[in-house]
Amino acid sequence: MASRTVAGADGRSWSVRMNIEWSTPAVGDEFEHDVDGGRGAAIMILSSLLLFWVVLIFWKPSLVSVPFYLWFIAAFAILFFPFRWYLRRPYTIVAETEGSYDADLPAEHWSGMVRGRSRAKEEMRVVVRSLRTRATPGHSDSPLQPVN
């Protein structure tokens, strides 16, 4: 998605990029604890909502009118969750370099994951600043960790 080339403090050229993950990857310790309701729960909730709106719109008596604010609530409910899902998608941030033959600096590959676009952009700025000043993309409590 977004990619930048950064000159590190030690002279190496780093490629820093950020990609959106459309499905949440199961990693290490989180694999066994990743439990959700599954498709069955989502289908049940969506079918209940669809049934509610079908009854409200098509099977109502002719003298019953649906208030305008109910349409706004429906539009908000329909658009809120997909919008929130999109904004809270995990982003993978990768910083890598091929190394430097002049100074015998090795090739490095750092990777990490953050949730949300604004947090991912902020982490990209932190990584770029860290590369320019300290020649390393992460620190001990950073989402970016070295990958072998």
Digit-coded pLDDT (tens) for 3-61? 889 988 888 899 999 998 887 666 655 555 555 667 788 788 889 988 987 887 787 77
Residue 119: per-residue pLDDT: 93
pLDDT band of residue 125 (cuts 50, 70, 90) is: very high
pLDDT band of residue 126 (cuts 50, 70, 90) is: very high
pLDDT greater than 80 at residue 138: yes
* Residue 20, beta-bridge partner list: 91
**Stretch among 18-27, 80-89, 94-103 having the lowest mean pLDDT:** 18-27
Mean predicted confidence (pLDDT) in 93-104? 82
pLDDT greater than 60 at residue 105: yes
CA contacts within 13 A on the Cβ side of 91: 23
Residue 61: per-residue pLDDT: 76
Please list, residue by residue across 122-148, b when 16 or more beta carbons sit within 10 angstroms of its beta carbon and e when fewer do. Answer: ebbebbbebbeeebbbbeeebbbeeee
- From the list 140, 93, 142, the residue with the least C-alpha distance to 116 is 93
Residue 95: per-residue pLDDT: 94
pLDDT band of residue 87 (cuts 50, 70, 90) is: confident
Mean predicted confidence (pLDDT) in 101-107? 77
